[in-house]
Chains A and B, each alone.
Chain A
Amino acid sequence: MSIPNFIIPDLLLLLFPFIVIGSRLFCDAKSNVPWRIANIGFLLIFLLLNFIPLAGGEGRFFICNWRVDDFGVFMREVLVVSAILGMWFSKDYFMHAAAGKPQMHQIAEFIGAIAFATFGGVTVVSACDTITFFLGLEIATIPMYALTAWNKQDQLGSEAATKYILMGSVATAFELFGFSYLYGFAGSLHFDAIQRAVAAGASPLLWIAVLFLFCGIGFKLTLFPFYTWAPDVYEGAPTPVTAVLSVTSKATAIAFLVVLVYGPLAPVQEQIAPLIALLAGVTLFVGNLGALKQYRLRRFMAYSSIAQAGYIMVALLGTAAMAKTAIIYYLFVYAVSNYLAFFVFGIIGHHREEIFDSLRGLSKQNPSLAIALAISMFSLAGIPPLAGFFGKFHLFFSGATTGHYMLIAFAVLNNVLALFYYLQLVKSAWVDEPDGHLNPLRLTRRQRGVIILLSCAVVILGFLPFLSDNIFMGFSGL
């Protein structure tokens, strides 16, 4: 049997965690070998992904149940980028203990778990039937439970993991229930068959299935009213896990919705639009309100990411092509901005408590760190010319194609609220006077390099549109 080229990165990604974890058999606990293998492996996969030709078509494999299309390729890139950044971020936590936290051990297993979660995300975007789809979501979620509880001695972490598992299991139950009704409605597990059945006519059975599926994924995407676990888990998990959780798990959940809404449920997208609009509007409002009064960095990021989930939902109201472009672009932007923020918080967290006051005087002691923080915050707040603005513009544009002006006006007004709390953070770093009691910050070479790389990425992703589209040709014609 011949293996098509486009499947190679997926196979590598599947083998990869086994190799990383297996390498522990041949080297001791302090060895750097697994880390190197992981770096090479992920970068290789990322490179290979870039070689998959995008033709607007799709390739199918494995009795037509594994699909690789343009959206899938870009989602793979988002997930792999998130895994690479998460891996780089976690390295320091395995070398020194963060302030007030036990040191982390077993980096090989840790990276293996991230790789499994990444593979789960890939499975979700590649699935063509509900079984694979569901499996993907579980593969993506279960390693996250383990990652959350990585520090066994940390009480907060264990509490967070328990909460996460309980909530996640309920969500899984909801999804399974939804899928079973979907099967009952369509009489088939395959997406194409379900789509045909949905197009033929809806019934209450279908609406129950849709409702339960949205409830289930609402937990994972932290939509209102299922977001309550997020602040506690974000706060309790080790910082690198929080970062991975906020990007990989969110990207997987949104990919799930995109596949669902523009796949089997495409014929009734207009009917479920009010539900999406309601979830989007309430979620971003609640996220923004919740973030206003936070003073702990990671709790703050939890609410911020809840609000971001609401913004992403706005795009789901648009047409398929528009929404997919918008969501892919936004996820890239969100991943880069969010990781940049987490890198800064990570450096703070290594030496100080993770609260706003620890940022005091940052602009005077570490101006470059303060600039990086401002860049990431303004990007998350959607201020041009940073990447976040174009990302949000894309999302709103997608929502506006179907005429949801009221929701967009509401979302845009919410941006003012969001700007307020992002400014609050920038204020701590830029305006407040330095506090002599705070420990000095030390940056390793890797941290410095990654922060510069990500800051440039946020600025360039924003300016990239300026450079695209034959603008140089246009100028040469003057």
Chain B
Amino acid sequence: METVLFNLIWVIPLLTVLACIPIPATCERALRAVHTASVSFVLLIVCVLTYRVFALGAAPADPASAPFALRFFTDIPWLSAFNAHYIVGADGLNMLLLALTAFIVWAGVLVSYKIKGNQKVFFALIQLLATSVYGVYMSFDLVLFFVFYEMEALCMYLMIACYGSGRRDYGGKKLTLTLAFGSSMILATLFGLYFESGTGSWSLMEISKVTLPMDFQMWAFPLMFMGFAVSSSLFPFHFWSPDGHSAAPTAVSMLAAGVMMKMGAYGCLRFAMFLMPEAAKIWLPYVVALLIFNVVLGPFIAIRHKDLKYITAYSSISHLGLIFLGLAALTPVGLRGASLQMISHGFLTGLFFATIGMIYERTHTRDITEMGGIMKKMPFLGVGFVIAGFAGLGLPGFSGFIAESTIFIGAFQQDSTLTRIVTVLAILSITTTAVYILQTANRMLHGPMPAKFQTLTDGCFREKLVIVVLVFCLLLIGIFPGPFADMLDLSIAPIFNRF
């Protein structure tokens, strides 16, 4: 029963799209109701299943899923022509990421009620995007994984270019093509993995049983790692993210920054590092060197920007850099911190983009120099933004603090001068983060209010609900990190044991 429910997670969004085909595009209320019901139902399923995974704890799992301990494990032959299987399962890591996705998709649908244009197509695309992200986190077969991973490109471009703002065609193309560039690198390595491993299987578990030839690993690891890192905007492939995010409609920014960028980091950990640990040890120090840009320079660039979405995009770049710092540290604590940061940053950036979208919907500008005194008219949204900002700079009590401090501890444990220097720089860069967050909040929320903002109203119930739920999640992880860390530790152990 639970296994069927688990498989339904990615099927329900697709079914919703099919169910909406007969509804005419003019019945926007009905469409919104159907989609809201669907995403809420998926959210419910995911929450229940997450609790089940937590409750099962270290209980023995299906032996077929070794070395992972996967719950709801399903393995069905799929494409006989190249022996691909439909393999899905859940451990703590991907279950928590699924939960994150479900929350962000739910919030994304709720904030898009007033989107302009053909809502039927828009919500269908959001559901397709949700299918792709759920599928990526669930699958343990390389072909299945890639099918879901590449699917996003189809939805992202259309959503940004048709429903976005500003330079939407440019931003959409930049994002889609850069991501496609990354996935083409991954696809090339997938073929290599299949044929070089000689297992005749695309299953992650099967391939991990062989030690891949070192000369193959040496070129395949960087290719695959960078391919994934493109979607997590690791320097030098970060350039798509500010333009893409700023052009995208609110829900898409939330999904892109909140969950899609985590797909890259997740892929690095689950696929690249897990399958090619020997090469990972050699190459990861170079990644640490790249991180200096993300972690140290990212916040400085954010200071100079005046567009709210650009600021948030650069803040995302620096936060995602911390994930890679945790991964590159190669210590259990570092890996735990990295995976905590994936989840924490998902909620954080979701909240950020949600409040920015709501404010933009009212003020029709995202330029902080044109804003002021918003706190007087929109206290709720203003407070939401400030909370997101505080969580972003790692204030204790919020999830960001737990995640980041874990990463710093883990990274410092590693016996390498470079990593330690970068860690110290990263810790210092929090000050820079504080500068741009406080500066933005101050300019936007306080000070004299332009006359044209006199008629603005505060968030409606729907919007307040989104903010409250996301803040609740941030606080939950921040105040009770124990259960989450336990779940993550159990699922990281099989990966770390390879090193």
Contact = CB atoms under 8 A, between A and B. Distances in A.
A367 B188 contact: no
Given A383-B150, A383-B154, A400-B191, A465 B181 contact: no
Contacts, number: 114
Contacts of A426: 157-158
B22 interface: no
A85 to B, nearest CB: 24
Given A374-B158, A400-B195, A474-B77, A412 B184 contact: yes
B153 interface: yes
Nearest to A422: B157
B187 A412 contact: yes
Interface string B163-183: 000001100010011001100
B78 A465 contact: yes
B118 A367 contact: yes
A389 B147 contact: yes
A200 B123 CA distance: 64
A385 interface: yes
Dominant SS among interface residues on chain A? helix
Contacts of A295: none
Interface in A417-442: 419-420, 423, 426-427, 430-431
Contact of A383 (B153, B185, B195): B153
B86 interface: yes
A271 to B, nearest CB: 22
Contact of B173 (A401, A420, A470): A420
Interface string A363-388: 11001000100100010000111100
Contacts of A416: 177, 180-181, 184
Interface stretch (A29-37, A166-174, A403-411): A403-411
A362 to B, nearest CB: 12
B194 to A, nearest CB: 8
B472 interface: no
Given A389-B150, A470-B77, A367 B157 contact: no
B282 interface: no
A427 B180 contact: no
Contacts of A401: 195
A325 B82 CA distance: 11
Given A389-B147, A408-B191, A465-B78, A423 B176 contact: yes
B34 interface: no
A325 B81 contact: yes
A55 interface: no
Interface string A434-478: 000000000000000000000000000000011011110011001
A99 interface: no
B61 to A, nearest CB: 16
Contacts of A470: 76-77
Contact of A405 (B168, B169, B191): B191
A423 B187 contact: no
Nearest to B188: A409
A378 B154 contact: yes
B188 A405 contact: yes
A303 interface: no
Contacts of B161: 427, 430-431
B455 interface: no
A474 B76 contact: yes
Contacts of A220: none
A470 B80 CA distance: 10
Contacts of A408: 188, 191
B82 A397 contact: yes
A415 B180 contact: yes
B4 interface: yes
A360 interface: no
Contact of A419 (B74, B78, B177, B188): B177
Contact of A420 (B121, B148, B177): B177
B79 interface: yes
A430 B162 contact: yes
A386 B132 CA distance: 13
Contacts of B86: 466, 471, 474
Nearest to A371: B121
A469 B191 contact: no
Given A412-B184, A416-B177, A431 B81 contact: no
A383 B187 CA distance: 12
Nearest to B219: A405
B3 interface: yes
B121 to A, nearest CB: 7
B77 A469 contact: yes
Q: A329, A393, A400, A413: which has the most chain B beta carbons within 10 Å? A: A393
A356 B143 CA distance: 35
B12 interface: no
A474 B79 CA distance: 13
Contacts of A415: 180, 184
B413 to A, nearest CB: 37
A116 interface: no
Contacts of A413: 181, 184-185, 188
B80 A469 contact: yes
A393 B154 CA distance: 17
Nearest to A386: B154
Contact of A469 (B25, B74, B78, B157): B78
A150 to B, nearest CB: 37
Contact of A403 (B121, B146, B151, B195): B195
A394 interface: yes
B192 interface: yes
Interface string B261-283: 00000000000000000000000
A396 interface: yes
A397 B143 CA distance: 11
Contacts of A394: 81-82
A469 B80 CA distance: 7
A397 B191 contact: yes
Contacts of A325: 81
Contact of B25 (A367, A403, A466): A367
Contacts of A409: 184-185, 188
Nearest to A431: B161
B154 A471 contact: no
A329 B79 CA distance: 13
B188 A465 contact: no
A384 B150 contact: yes
Given A367-B25, A415-B180, 16 more contacts: A363-B121, A378-B154, A383-B150, A393-B82, A397-B81, A409-B184, A409-B185, A409-B188, A416-B184, A423-B157, A426-B158, A427-B161, A430-B161, A465-B78, A470-B76, A474-B86
7 closest A-B pairs by CB: A474-B76, A409-B188, A412-B184, A400-B191, A384-B147, A431-B161, A465-B79
28 contacts: A329-B81, A363-B162, A378-B154, A383-B151, A383-B153, A384-B147, A384-B154, A385-B151, A389-B147, A389-B150, A397-B191, A400-B191, A400-B194, A409-B185, A412-B184, A413-B184, A415-B184, A416-B177, A420-B177, A426-B157, A427-B169, A430-B162, A431-B169, A465-B79, A466-B78, A469-B77, A469-B80, A474-B86
